[in-house]
A and B are shown apart, each in its own frame.
Chain A
């Protein structure tokens, strides 16, 4: 399995795991065969704390982009997890107008496009 497949397999099993370099300890996301810090290809898959802080976001209000699983308006954001990796996901369970950079979020598994997905919700 390549790293993306491994990641999604974990998600399918109800777990959010990220790679941690066996050589230097750097965590990384999105999944990759190679550690960007030291180029090692040895890594373990760790369950990490899922809380984090919103770095930036945008709101899709374009009706042409509505999906059955993701009606507009929807929010897409980058958040830096306390576990030192950045995730990109939708911000759910909050009005788009109330979303603000710096807010605390946590990752949860939700049903979405293509099946179960890690998604942000207010912490």
Chain B
């Protein structure tokens, strides 16, 4: 048994995000791969592992990608084609390196979204379609309504999340939606899936999720290799995998009574806090927070779930000042899914890498050292610009 190795992100790239009808999944992934290799100062032959979270039909499968991009690897992994497995596949890559299965692993995706449609994740929803229930916005709306009821939350306050993320996107050249939004715009946005406004959903401006086409490549390596490369290493500081069970309904926070969830009082669990524990950290140590924001209320749910404020407080805790780039806890400095584009969390991970290298220019979070990514599936990743050992 060899010792587990420290792991760092050494290269990261996202292509243009948006409708690109003439481009293929392989082409987008290949462009991102090339850019990330250049970023890291690596050659393609250095890659000995590949980890894919969006195979066919949302993107292409690992074998097609490795065949067409000439990657020869001894570690290949792929999840069921679904956006929720971004964290899982990032963590698989990190664990392969930590456990000496590979030295340099690329998380590679060409998100096309528009390959032939198949029915994806609809646990128990087969019959729900007979009740006019369809898609992810519906459970998100159910969760939000219960949250409003439990905590007396005014859903108009979600505008603070939406407007702030858009303000960040205005400083991000790769963001799909950069035009400023006003409070008048927000309050005029119709509640087509009431209580969610159109601007509370990632599929805003009528373009839909499928417009977020992009290639994304994130290269991880052992810390020893990382120290020899072009960029300062961005270390993997903490990981909490996805959680599952009846309390883990997709598009919710535990305790909000969605599907089989109970309506019990919620407190963050030991698992929720595990992402901090390995490195001896606490929520207040984070210099920025990157919640999956397919729907704006997830920003509230995730702040509470991962201990940044108490359950029921996020709707008041979040102000435009507090989550701004110079605020107490800057959030989604790239604009998040709602404004940068729906890249299943990869855009946020790439942004975190750039922020921790302090290369984000106008949207740089000052002195960023520790940044946290989190989703409503209960997984979370902390990246930092110093290894764990030197932090304790």
Q: Do A and B come from one complex?
A: yes
Q: Which residues from chain A sit less than 8 Å from chain B, CB to CB?
A: 4, 8, 30, 36, 55-62, 65, 67, 70, 73-74, 76, 78, 86, 88-90, 96, 101-102, 112-114, 117
Interface size class of B (residues with CB under 8 A): 20 to 34
Report chain A residues within 8 Å CB of B263.
Answer: 55
Report chain A residues within 8 Å CB of B126.
Answer: 4
B258–A76 touching, CB < 8 Å: no
Residue of A whose beta carbon sits closest to that of B126:
A4
Report chain B residues within 8 Å CB of A73.
Answer: 194
Residue of A whose beta carbon sits closest to that of B133:
A76
Given the known interface contacts A76-B132, A90-B131, the answer about A55 and B193 at a Cβ–Cβ threshold of 8 Å is no
Say what secondary structure dominates the interface of chain B: loop
Max chain B C-beta neighbours (<10 A), residue from A8, A65, A67, A90:
A65
Binds A, one of B99-107, B139-147, B173-181, B228-236: B139-147
Residue of B whose beta carbon sits closest to that of A77:
B142
Given the known interface contacts A76-B138, A101-B149, the answer about A30 and B143 at a Cβ–Cβ threshold of 8 Å is no
B119 in contact (CB, < 8 A): no
Report chain A residues within 8 Å CB of B131.
Answer: 70, 76, 88-90, 112-113, 117
CB distance from A123 to the nearest CB of B (A): 19
CB distance from B92 to the nearest CB of A (A): 29
Residue of B whose beta carbon sits closest to that of A117:
B130
Contact of B246 among A30, A36, A101, A114 (CB under 8 A): A36
A55–B257 touching, CB < 8 Å: yes
Report chain B residues within 8 Å CB of A61.
Answer: 190-194
Write 17 A-B pairs (CB below 8 A) sorted by A numbering. A30-B124, A56-B143, A59-B195, A60-B132, A60-B192, A61-B191, A61-B193, A62-B193, A70-B131, A74-B132, A78-B142, A89-B131, A101-B149, A102-B149, A112-B130, A113-B132, A117-B131
Residue of B whose beta carbon sits closest to that of A28:
B260
Report the Cα distance A8→B126, complex, angstroms. Answer: 12
B134 in contact (CB, < 8 A): yes
Max chain A C-beta neighbours (<10 A), residue from B143, B256, B257:
B257
